Chain A
Amino acid sequence: MKSLEHGRVRIALRELRPGPGPALLAVHGLRGSSEEWGDSLASWKGAVHALDLTGHGESARLAGGAYHPELLAGDVDVAIAATAARHLVGRGLGAYLALLVAGSRADRIDGTLLLPGDGIEGGGPEPVFDDLAERFAAFHLRASGAVDGRADPALSALETDIRPPAYATSFARRARRLLLAEDGSARPPWWTAIRELGTAQIVSTRLPDALAALAP
């Protein structure tokens, strides 16, 4: 386990399999960790790394709880710098973070595979301005509660974060190669907007097949 820093954030990076060959970085979903990949990425022909996002797994919690996707994109960014990975696979929240990094570090990332999973699906494409008080009360209860003793309750902000489709597609347009793994289930608006661009490759959610399509 290796420790990386950006700003005041300290995250854990796990080497799932040593090189040689092109390195892959795996980014887990909301309330997951690097452990969730198990040997599911074993078919990748190269080194495989997985990080624990801020507030997850072996990584430190955020003092003050201001979790948001752009900050967590910093976790992915320092991990690609440390591993020289040019391929990303992300699940749920991790898929969104991989998209942000693929678009903002387009010269560093050759291919990105987005898998369905938990995180940033509940906020919708734009804020809903009705029933603000009721929705805030429900959110605040989750964000300050201790429903699950292991996960930081403040991570709830990542369930309700607003993610406009046009914002997501601005990253998708810059990314070199995007692969969307689909199994026919409903996807959030940011995901379907990327699909509608027509430039992403649609692949199976069966990981060996999807990884074969991602390989250089």
Chain B
Amino acid sequence: MLKRVAVPPGLWLMLSLVLVAVAAPWFAPYDPNATLDIIALKNQAPSLDHPFGTDPYSRDVLSRVLHGARVSLGFAFATVILALGAGTLYGSAMAFASPFMGTVLRRLLDVAFSVPRLLVLLAVAGVAGPLDVRLLVVLMAGTGWFATARLVHDEITALRTREFVLAARASGVPATRLVVRHLLPHLGPLLMTAASFSMAGTIMLEAGLSYLGLGIQPPTASWGNIIRDGAGLIQTHWWLTVFPVLATVIPIMTCNAAGDALRDRFAPPQFAGSAIPSPSNPPRGRIPSLFRQ
């Protein structure tokens, strides 16, 4: 499918973020948890030695942010994979089930949708106290798969009535081959798009939870708790907040932009013959984005 490899600028940005996150231990100038000279280096403004400054515990903020990238992005990635997997399974089950079972599953999903995700996370984390990271991933995935399930179900249902599926059935294509060769290739791009948006949302949620002290616990650096550490001192020591916030916001924006671009890139191709709009060929919008060519 990717015949041309002309890479839009936004994709470079995304790749470099991932690279940074993975290779943080090599990039980071200092150990993120090392308190380096408790007195002299406490709360220092950004300098050549410490481009992002130091925090109240005399730790290098740049190193913390880089390691935090690993943690936050890794966490979000794991959560999204789990949530997408669960959602796809449930959505497919719903689409292929008998009408009665399908309705039951659908209603259960509707109930699940009505649960406010943030409140549940806050409640559980607040009551159970600080959670092990793996449990946290499961919890976040467990509350984040509903939209994917509905997406997958709707897409499969819509595809089944498309004429080319009917044509395949008419040719005598057996059910398994139909699913694998005709339905799944359509789901792939859809899930990639959903993953992008889901990543953005999860990064934000985790940052928020960690900021409140309910997510990833110190001393493990996550962007959320780095912001927390510096929150009280924002007026005098701005670098303690600004850099981790930027670090959080940029990947979120990048993921959203990636999602947009993926959605357009993998939309069914424009028809041959006339690129000229007409009643049967409406013009498409042009929104500038990091990921457009």
A binds B: no
B residues adjacent to A (C-beta < 8 A):
none
